[in-house]
Amino acid sequence: MAEKKTNYKVISENRKARFSYEILDTLEAGLVLTGTEVKSLRRSQANIQESYASVEGGEIWLINSYIPEYLEGNRFNHEPRRRRKLLVSKREMARLAQSVEKEGMTMVPLKLYFNERGMAKLQLAVGRGKKLHDKRETEKQRDWNREKSRLLKNYG
C-alpha cells in the first residue's frame, strides 16, 4: 500500500489534545496573520496548547494561541495572544457550528504547520472531552501495546 507523503514543516503540535479529547472530525483551516506573526512562525515559535476555536458572528476564531513578538519587528509588532481568524469554506463552517452546538463538543487545534506552498495552516479537530476513566483506559491501552511490542520483539 502506498503511503501518502506529506511535505510540510510542523511549527507547533498539541499532543495533549488527543489524550484529553475524543477526536471525531478534523479539517485544515487557513489563518489570517500579520507579517511579523509569519516571521515568528518561520522561527518555529508558537504554542497552541491552551488554545481553542469558537464560532462567533458567522466566523471561526482561534482564541488564546501564543505567537511571540518578532524581535526585529519594532513598532509594527503584533500582540502575542490576539484572536486570529480562521479561513474555512461556508459549508465547513456550517458543519462545524452544527457539531459544536451538540453537548460536550469543542473545536481544538491539533497542529500548526506550513504546507508545501509555504502557507500557514491549522489542523482543527472537533472532539468531545474525555472523562477520567476514559483517560485511564487510553493509558492502559497504550501501556499494553508498548508491552506487547516488546514481547513480540523478544520472542517473536
Q: What is the CATH number of the domain that holds 115?
A: 2.40.280.10
> How does DSSP classify residue 7?
-
Single out the residue of 44, 99, 100 nearest to residue 70, CA to CA: 44
Contact 123, 28 (CB under 8 A): yes
pLDDT at 13: 87
Q: How far is CA 143 from CA 16, 138, 148, 150, in A?
A: 17, 9, 9, 11
Asked if the structure places residue 147 within a domain, the reply is no
Query: DSSP letter at 73?
Result: G
Read off φ and ψ for residue 133, nearest 5 degrees: -65, -30
On whether residue 80 sits in a domain, the answer given is: yes
- Amino acid 61: pLDDT: 92
Contact partners, residue 34, CB within 8 Å, separation at least 6: 76, 78
Q: Are 96 and 55 in contact (CB under 8 A)?
A: yes
- Report the chain (156 residues): mean pLDDT per 10 consecutive residues: 64 84 88 87 87 88 88 79 90 87 84 89 88 83 89 82
Q: Give the Cα separation of 66 and 45 in Å (integer).
A: 9
Instruction: Say if 150 falls within a structural domain.
Output: no
The domain of 116 spans 9-129
Per-residue confidence (pLDDT) for residue 152, from 0 to 100: 87
Q: Which residue, 72, 59, 68, is CA-closest to 31?
A: 59
The identity of residue 18, as a single letter, is R
**Exposed/middle/buried for 64, CB within 10 Å: 0-12, 13-18, 19+?**
middle
Note the pTM of the prediction, 2 decimals: 0.76
**Quick one: pLDDT at residue 6?**
64
Q: Is residue 152 in a domain?
A: no
Cell 510542523 identifies what position?
10
Residue 118 lies in a domain: yes
Do the domain assignments include residue 26? Answer: yes
Residue 65 forms part of a structural domain: yes
pLDDT at 156: 66
When divided into structural domains, the chain yields a total of 1
100 near 11, Cβ under 8 Å? no
* Residue 117 neighbours by CB distance under 10 Å: 8
Q: What is the pLDDT of residue 68?
A: 87
Task: Answer whether residue 63 is part of any domain.
Answer: yes
